[in-house]
Amino acid sequence: MAILILLTLLSSMTLSGLIFYERYLVQGFLDNFTLLLLAGAGSVALFCIASLALLPTARGERVRKIWLGLLATGLTYAAADILAGLALIPPLSPALVGDQIVHHRLVPNTHSALYSRDFSYIQRVNNMGLRGRETSVQKTPGTRRIALLGDSFIMGKGVEDEETAAAVLEHALRQDGHLVEVLNGGVDSYAPILSLLQLRTLFAPLDLDLVVLNLDMSDLLQEQAYRGRAAYDKSGRLIGVDGRLDELGLTRTQRWRNWINEHLYFSRLFVYYIQHWAHRHQGVNVANVVGMANPAILAHTLASDTDNRDEQWRLLFSSILDMRTFCAERGINFILTTYPWGHQINEREWTPGRLAFVPEGAVISDRSPQRVRDFAASSGIEFLDLFPAFRAYNGEAPLYYSFDMHWTPAGHRLLALELQRLIADRP
């Protein structure tokens, strides 16, 4: 029995050390959920120490019975958890994998678990490596095939498969009698350079009729970062952005959480609900919401930004022009859209999560969306500005989550509605 107690003590102390190291020393924060984990591991360690101290005493027999009961309960729970996971959890894969050409991509024919303080759901990726239902290379005769390209907003991070803008748009157009297929080309953290590569590879054989590139406010800096990793041929043509080594960046706690989501049915529910409970009374202040966020990606949306970003915009627009050219050469219509983040709409949306990126009281600037408008006009690119529609929205449901920056189902419905108005009656 002493060996079992010692092993439990060692495990709890090791777990506490790893959690503290990764969350505080590496990631630089300790949220309520992390503190609960540390408190739980610490309590187990103290219980082990007390048990070891009592074993040689007259109470040793009672301690042994308690530990035998705990062992039996633990083994029973573990068996039930694993069996329920095998029966009820679909086979899961990583949400993203590194790729030699497009840096990272979704894995075809898989399910992935995505979670945050605001949501937890299973994402389905089809046979083509796109989020949504199955499709084929050959489209049905008479069908109009549309591809929505972009990052995690378009992919639909935070909503179920049928709630993404692509799925809602397709359903709405079909309800109006249009024979149409809308493909969801959104991938987490994509920028135009990766969407360009995706268009040249994955979408090239799909006989598209319309490509809609949805430009995100984070794309300005992400484009620059991917450009720094890009490979070109002797003629200067873009070959790819290799992201295979970036898969190694997951922390141990992230890997543990992924494993729990993939295998343990009851434990994944417990972790999800205890995380919600831990943050139920969280106040609106920077210390409570700042995690691994990078405020630099939204600095250009603030009035306080004085950096010269001409070169960043040139690189970004270059990829968009290359996409327009690719489409024009193949008779594919091309539309550019841009949309706001929650802090660019009003003070209610994306609160308090915005404090991880935007200082409290920061003044918002429209320089960046105006620059995109000017670029589209001067380049002759059809453009849908979604800022007015999002700012005019007065529905009861929020468009953005509280902590996570992404759209709620209401945000996806609004985007789908605006696209439907623009393209519904086109041949």
pLDDT tens readout for residues 52-72: 999 889 888 998 999 999 999
- Which pLDDT band, with edges at 50, 70 and 90, does 275 fall under? low
Average pLDDT of the chain, as a whole number: 88
The rounded distance, in Å, linking the Cα atoms of 133 and 6 is: 51
Q: Cβ(353)–Cβ(398) under 8 Å?
A: no
Q: Is 201 helix (H, G, I), strand (E, B) or coil?
A: helix
- Which pLDDT band, with edges at 50, 70 and 90, does 73 fall under? very high
The rounded distance, in Å, linking the Cα atoms of 267 and 274 is: 10
Arithmetic mean of pLDDT, 223-242: 93
Arithmetic mean of pLDDT, 83-103: 77
CATH number assigned to the domain with residue range 97-249+284-423, chosen from the 4 options 3.40.605.10, 2.60.40.1260, 3.40.50.1110, 3.20.20.480? 3.40.50.1110
For residue 232, give every residue at least 6 positions away whose Cβ sits within 8 Å of its Cβ, in sequence order, or none: 238, 239
211 φ, ψ (degrees, to nearest 5): -115, 130
Instruction: Indicate if the pLDDT at residue 285 is higher than 60.
Output: no
Reference 205, options 147, 161, 284, 245; nearest CA is 147
What pLDDT is stored for residue 401 in this prediction? 97
- Which pLDDT band, with edges at 50, 70 and 90, does 288 fall under? very low
Q: Give 322-354 pLDDT, tens digit per residue.
A: 999 999 999 999 999 999 999 999 999 999 999
Instruction: Indicate if the pLDDT at residue 368 is higher than 90.
Output: yes
Q: Cβ(327)–Cβ(196) under 8 Å?
A: no
- Which pLDDT band, with edges at 50, 70 and 90, does 291 fall under? very low
The rounded distance, in Å, linking the Cα atoms of 96 and 151 is: 12
Q: Quickly tell me which residue has 């969280």 as its tokens.
A: 282
Instruction: Indicate if the pLDDT at residue 409 is higher than 50.
Output: yes
- Which pLDDT band, with edges at 50, 70 and 90, does 15 fall under? confident
What pLDDT is stored for residue 395 in this prediction? 96
Residue range(s) occupied by CATH 3.40.50.1110 in the chain: 97-249+284-423
What pLDDT is stored for residue 99 in this prediction? 92
Q: Give 306-319 pLDDT, tens digit per residue.
A: 999 999 999 999 99
Instruction: Indicate if the pLDDT at residue 413 is higher than 70.
Output: yes
Q: What is the pTM of this model?
A: 0.76
